Structure formats: structure tokens, C-alpha cells
Structure 1
Amino acid sequence: MYQGLYRFILASMVVYAHLLPNVADVGKAAVAGFFMLSGFLVTRIVNGRYSDGLRGFGIFVLNRALRIYPTFWVCLAFAFAAIALFPTVAANTNPRMVLTSDIGEIAKQILIFGQLGPEGRAPVGWISVGWSLSVELVYYLLIATVLGRSKIATALWLVFGIGTMTYAIGNLGLDEAYFSYLYITLVFAIGAALHHFGEWFDKVFSLIATKGSPKTAIAAIALLLAYVFWQEPIGIYIYLETRSMDEIARVLPLDSIWIFYGTLPFAAFAMWATLAVRVDDSSVLTGSKLARVSDYLGELSYPVFLLHFAMLIMVTGLLGGTGGQGPERVLWHSLVAIPLVYILAMLVVRFVEQPVQRLRDKVRDLTHGKVADPRIKDVQVP
């Protein structure tokens, strides 16, 4: 029941990371949380509702396309407008948010695929986080066809993921590992393993917490946030004292690859705890009203994830600013943009996502596979 709240918190972490002058890698940790959640939920539904062979796979692909693309294209149009109106602000705010006449790059913006390649992110990204959707889409297909279809496949995948993580820690920097299909694979694999080997996770996590308890879910989210954010107050204090990012980097580990991979146990615990809470009107913390609020916040998470940079560019341009990166930005421009991101996301949910959801429900009913636990919502990217 808390899945929506969890996704909303992850999306808000990305907004914080990109719009406020954070000093660590809060956004990277949040995206890892999204990837892990997708690994679990996609594995769950392709072994449940969409398990009836080629028919199920075809309906799965159609349903995923309806989930991803309509909202993405609406947000892409908003981002294009922001960049076209304020090109200098856009380039100063995010160097990848620039217009181009290259047909191949334009196609990547529309189709999503290709926004992350062997050399890293594409040079153009009207929705700067679109590369992560490219990763999501590739893993949707891999999980639905091979990696998530059996316990053996997922176990081998998990071992492979541990191997790539070990190599990355010893040989790569964080960005090389993060902006990659290969070295991020462990994150998705852990999510898939939570489906296939849930009883093992239950034994491990139940040693420290009570499964299904809302207090456990809240504590799990708090632990994740504490681990991810612990550097922030220290870094902000140092910056205010010295105005030097170099001094922050000297004192704090910041973008350590160890810290990034270290978030995975916390993210797995948070996911296990939030997914286990069931609707039960005997308690306010598990009541149906709170469940509906959580579901709605989950609906907001995807457009919030997509819109935040474009909204910052639009607000900065309208207020006469020139943009900038990190601490270079005018703080109050971000403070104006943030609530507008959530308001615009509400409009997208109302006029795009909810009508499309009704179509998706009809498409989903075409399947002949096993129906998954209805108390766990269908997968929804950030």
C-alpha cells in the first residue's frame, strides 16, 4: 500500500538533487531505488498476469508503451517549449538540454531508446533524465524474455550483477558505473530476486523488523533517507563557510562508488517493507484513505520526475535569470519552480495519465495469465 508513497519520495529526491544545490549524489540513489522497484514489479507481472506466452508478452509491451509514452511525450513538449523559449538558460542549467537539427538525436528524444549508449548519455537530452527511461525499457524487455522468467535465470543474473559491481568498484568511477546498462544491472537483479526469492528476504529482514508493519515501512524509508542524505548538512555548512566545492570534496566522500552501491541494501529493505503493508481500516496508518493518498502520490511521481528541469528553465527565464549549475543557480528560482512542478504534474495526471489508465485497464484485461496480488499495484515507472 505504501508503494506510491515510496515512489513519490524517490521522485522528490531527484527534484532535490537537480533543483537545489545538493553536494552529494542523492539523485543517483533515488534512481537506483526506481530501478530496483521496476526489477521486482516487472518480474512479478511477467510471471503473473502476462505469463501466457507470446500473447502475454505482446500485451505486456503494449501496456508498458501506454504507461510510458503518452505522459513522456506531453512532458517532452513542455521541455521543448522551455528550451525553445529560453535556449541560453537551458544550456546554462543543463548542457544537454539544447535544440538540435540532427534527425538521429531528435528520434532519440521521441523514442527514448538510444538516450544512453556505449559512450554514455547522448549529447542531447530535452528531458535530461530520459536516459534512465532508456535503461528501464531495455530491462523491461530483458526481464520479460529471459532474466526474470525463472529462479535459475534470476539467480545467475544476480551472481553476474555482483561480479560487475565488484569490477566497477575496483576499476571504475561512479559516473562510468551509473550511466551504464552493464554496471547498473545488479540493481534490477536484486528487485527480480525479491520476487523469486522473497522467502529468503523475509528471513533476513524479519530478523530486524516486522513484515507488513507500517512502522517498519516508515523506519525503512527513514533509514534510506538518512543514509543518502547524511552528507548534505555537512556539505552545505562547509559551502556556506568556504564557498568552495573543492573543500567539500576534500572533507566528504561525496560521489564515492562505495556509497552508491551501499544504498542497495537500504533500498531493498525499504522496498520489502513498503510493499508488504496491506490496506486495513483498523488503523489510520493502514486505512483505505491513506492508501488512496499513497496511490495518488505514486501517480504524481512519473510526471514530477520528467518535468522538474524544464520547469526550472521556464521559471528562470520568465524571472529574467540566466541559469547555472548546482550552487551557481539562484536559489529562489528553484524555490518558485518546485511547487509548480507538482502542480503541473497534477494536471498531467488528471488530463493524460488517468484517461490513458482506463485504456490500459482494458488492455490488461485481455491477458489470460495468473492475476497477481491485487493489493500490489502494477509497475509504474518513477
Structure 2
Amino acid sequence: MKPDLNPSLATKPHYPILDGLRGIAAIIVVTFHLAEPLGTGHLDIVVNHGYLAVDFFFLLSGFVMGYAYDDRWNKMSVANFFKRRIIRLQPMVVLGMTLGAIGFYFTDSTIWPLIHTVPIWKMLLVMLIGYTILPIPLSMDIRGWQEMHPLNSVGWSLFFEYIANILYAVWIRKFSKTALTILVLIAAVALAHLAITNGDLSGGWTLNVEQVRIGLTRTMFPFFAGLLLSRIAKPTRIKNAFLWCSLLIAIVLYMPRIGGAQHLWMNGIYESVCVIIIFPLIVYLGASGVIQGQREQKICKFLGDLSYPLYLVHYPIVYFYVAWISNTKGISILQALPHALLILVSAIILAHLSLKWYDEPVRKWLQKKLN
């Protein structure tokens, strides 16, 4: 999820280090999805906490949303706000769903027995619904994983991103700092309860009551904690912030699972601390950071520009990798590593090409047409 940092839409300087951190987190998401099929379950995935990058994205979005828009509502309508968000988010959503549709019938595997029974009209209907980012019901699950976006799994987080945007624009932007603090505290308790009782924060991608509850809980605290942070934080000047924040986010997301099957609550406490305390700290440090020269500036810009396209286009490629893993019984991590690296590099190249040849031109065209 990429915040609206387009200079044409805002005159404020933005935070380049936060751009870079978003890119680091997006790359870790890809490595998590590459490691996931090599585990026997959620307890032994090598990149065990990679899914928490989504919660980090939500917090970044809330922070930048408050910074970019809080003081502009006297001259910006709600409709104009949503127009900007749609221009920013939807082009890559459409491309990601299209790529998922193109590769759908070619990801043949025993773990997806439904694929070759799905008529083309139904797949195309799922794709068209996916373009809107609205979730599909379980009756239209064409892959068999009970995902609300079976052509591009990551679409679920964009659905909840839009919900947070709607709540912000229609209602919560009007909250005082006190009211917002109370909301964030309540959301923090709900998030900690979810993490500790379930053992983790994984989930949110299925259209049923329990999974929607998980998705909303994972969204409400980080997004509105980020918004609160943007209102109360007074960034200082910290040297080498990008390096230290990058290391910290990598350590947090690559940390092995804690407690095992016998003590699930321990891992829940770890994830609660990460999302409620460590992630806001990382964002504050990143916002306070001072860019160390042109090289770091270019790295942060590249990673920031890459992050949203990479998030939206990597999973259609990962489906092929997952199918290969499932069809190659007993493959080890070392045997899969060259293939995983190839997928990672391919996803980064595809994301960069998507950005330059599709996303930026389409957004520029939409801005001219709709402004």
C-alpha cells in the first residue's frame, strides 16, 4: 500500500526514508511468500513474521495520510480525496488482477484442483470484480484457498486499506487528538487480544465473519496509530536512520516464531509488541532521519517507487513457484533457493517495468482526465 506522496498532489516535502523502508518491507513480503510453501505449517516458515509487513504498511499509510491531508480539508472535498486515492491505487490493482488472470490456468497443481474446472466466463467475472477490489464470496472461490481475491492474493489488504481511507475521510479525520488516542488505545487492546489468543496476527483474506474481524483488527490499530503519530510526533534529526531502521524492520520480520505450538501466546505477545510499539518507533525514527548523501537518496526513491508495484505484481508469479514446489515432493530449502531468487529478481524487474511503462503513465493520464 503506497501513500499518496505525488508532488503534484501535495506541496509538502515528504519523508524519503519512509519511502525506502516501505520498499524494504515489500521485498521482505516477497521473501515471506517464497518461503511459505517450504514450511509444513505456520509454525516453521523460515521468514516467519513476514506477514507483519502488511501491518507496517498500514501504519505508514496512516502516518502519511495524516501528514498529507489533515490540514487540507478546508479546501478539499471528500469526493476529491477519493478521486486521488483511486488514481493512486487502482491502476496497479487492475494490472495485478490481469496478470493473475493471465497465469491462472497455467498454475496447475494438486493443491488447486479447481483450476481446470473453472469456466473462462467465471474467471473473467472474478477478474472484473477484482478490478474494483471488492471481495468475492466463497461461492466464487476459483482457486480453492478461500481467498477474497483468488487471482491475486494480496488484494485483501487493499480492500482493508480502502476501508481505513473511507473511515478517515468520512469520520475519523474530525477526531480530536484525545478522541483519536482513545480509539487507538481500544484498537491496540483488540489487536493484542487477537494476537495472544490466536498466537499470531496472520489472516484477513477470506470473506467470512472471523477473517473480516481479523482484517479489521489488523487495520484499525496501525492505520490510526499512524494517523495519531503524524499529529503528535515532533521529528528530530537522526543520522543513519535509514540503515538502522532497515536493520530493525528486517530483524523484526525475519525473527523465528517464538514459543512453538505449546506456547502460542508467547508469539502473540511478540507480534503485539512489534505492531504496537516497535513499528511506530521505526516510523518515528524514519521520519526523523536525515538522508546521508545522494546515493542514499536514490536508493530510498528507488525502493519507495518500487514498493507498491512489487506488492501488487509479485504474487501472480509466486503462484507458479508455489505450484512447482507442491509438484516437486520433498524439495529442500537449498534446492528451492535458486528458483526463489529467480522469482524475487523477476518480480523486482516486473515491478519496475510496470511502474515505468504502465503505472506512472496511466496515473498521469487519469490526473489530466479527472482534474
Superimposed CA distance per residue, residues 131-163 of structure 1 (whole angstroms, 9 cap, x where no aligned partner):
011110100111122223332442231122123
1:162 aligns with 2:177: no
8 Å contact 2:190–2:217 — kept in the other structure? yes
Secondary structure at 1:182 match in 2: helix
Structure 2 counterpart of 1:182: 216
Take 2:299 and 2:64, find their aligned partners in 1: how far apart are those partners?
20
| Mapping of residues 252-271 of structure 1, within 5 Å | 256-264=267-275, 265-271=277-283
Q: Aligned partner of 2:304: which letter? A: G
Structure 1 counterpart of 2:233: 198
1:125 aligns with 2:150: yes
Alignment match of 1:336 (pick from 337, 342, 345) = 342
Take 1:291 and 1:34, find their aligned partners in 2: how far apart are those partners?
21
- Residue 124 of structure 1, CA deviation: 4.7
Structure 2 counterpart of 1:372: none
| Mapping of residues 111-122 of structure 1, within 5 Å | 111-114=132-135, 122=147
- Residue 253 of structure 1, CA deviation: 6.0
Structure 2 counterpart of 1:13: 28
Take 2:225 and 2:253, find their aligned partners in 1: how far apart are those partners?
19
8 Å contact 1:28–1:260 — kept in the other structure? no
Superimposed CA distance per residue, residues 205-234 of structure 1 (whole angstroms, 9 cap, x where no aligned partner):
xxxxxx3323234223322322332328xx
Measured at CA, do residues 290 and 217 of structure 1 come closer, stay the same or move farther in structure 2, by a change above 3 Å?
Answer: closer
Measured at CA, do residues 320 and 170 of structure 1 come closer, stay the same or move farther in structure 2, by a change above 3 Å?
Answer: closer
Measured at CA, do residues 152 and 309 of structure 1 come closer, stay the same or move farther in structure 2, by a change above 3 Å?
Answer: same
Q: Aligned partner of 2:157: which letter? A: S
1:42 aligns with 2:65: yes
1:305 aligns with 2:311: yes
1:346 aligns with 2:348: no
Measured at CA, do residues 77 and 3 of structure 1 come closer, stay the same or move farther in structure 2, by a change above 3 Å?
Answer: same
Secondary structure at 1:87 match in 2: coil
1:273 aligns with 2:285: yes
8 Å contact 2:104–2:115 — kept in the other structure? no
Measured at CA, do residues 338 and 149 of structure 1 come closer, stay the same or move farther in structure 2, by a change above 3 Å?
Answer: same
8 Å contact 2:49–2:256 — kept in the other structure? no
Measured at CA, do residues 113 and 35 of structure 1 come closer, stay the same or move farther in structure 2, by a change above 3 Å?
Answer: same
Alignment match of 1:137 (pick from 132, 153, 162) = 162
Structure 2 counterpart of 1:83: 104
Take 1:212 and 1:249, find their aligned partners in 2: how far apart are those partners?
40
Q: Aligned partner of 2:168: which letter? A: I
8 Å contact 2:306–2:348 — kept in the other structure? yes
- Pick which of 168-177 and 61-70 moved more: 168-177
Secondary structure at 2:309 match in 1: helix
- Normalising to structure 1: TM-score of the pair? 0.73
Take 2:239 and 2:329, find their aligned partners in 1: how far apart are those partners?
41
Q: Aligned partner of 2:279: which letter? A: A
Measured at CA, do residues 173 and 115 of structure 1 come closer, stay the same or move farther in structure 2, by a change above 3 Å?
Answer: farther
- Normalising to structure 2: TM-score of the pair? 0.75
- Residue 357 of structure 1, CA deviation: 4.2
Secondary structure at 1:308 match in 2: helix
8 Å contact 2:66–2:230 — kept in the other structure? yes
Secondary structure at 2:60 match in 1: helix
Size of the alignment, in residue pairs? Answer: 328
Alignment match of 2:171 (pick from 136, 146, 162) = 146
- Residue 106 of structure 1, CA deviation: 4.6
Q: Give the percent of matched residue pairs that are identical in Structure 1 and Structure 2.
A: 18
- Residue 167 of structure 1, CA deviation: 3.4
Superimposed CA distance per residue, residues 214-263 of structure 1 (whole angstroms, 9 cap, x where no aligned partner):
3234223322322332328xx9xxxxxxxxxxxx9459969922222121
Take 2:98 and 2:183, find their aligned partners in 1: how far apart are those partners?
37
- Residue 42 of structure 1, CA deviation: 1.5
Take 1:96 and 1:190, find their aligned partners in 2: how far apart are those partners?
40
Q: Aligned partner of 1:262: which letter? A: V
Q: Structure 1: which 5+ runs fail to align?
A: 203-210, 236-247, 280-284, 367-382
- Residue 65 of structure 1, CA deviation: 0.6
Take 2:231 and 2:115, find their aligned partners in 1: how far apart are those partners?
39
- Residue 273 of structure 1, CA deviation: 1.5
Take 2:18 and 2:47, find their aligned partners in 1: how far apart are those partners?
25
Structure with the greater relative contact order (CA < 8 A, sep ≥ 6): 1 or 2? 1
Take 2:262 and 2:369, find their aligned partners in 1: how far apart are those partners?
53
8 Å contact 2:110–2:327 — kept in the other structure? yes
Structure 2 counterpart of 1:373: none
Take 1:324 and 1:35, find their aligned partners in 2: how far apart are those partners?
36
8 Å contact 1:173–1:257 — kept in the other structure? yes
8 Å contact 1:29–1:228 — kept in the other structure? yes
Take 1:219 and 1:116, find their aligned partners in 2: how far apart are those partners?
43
Alignment match of 1:221 (pick from 235, 246, 255) = 246
1:109 aligns with 2:134: no
For the aligned residue pairs, the C-alpha RMSD in angstroms reads: 3.8
Q: Aligned partner of 1:174: which letter? A: D
- Residue 39 of structure 1, CA deviation: 1.1
1:52 aligns with 2:74: yes
| Mapping of residues 53-68 of structure 1, within 5 Å | 55-68=76-89
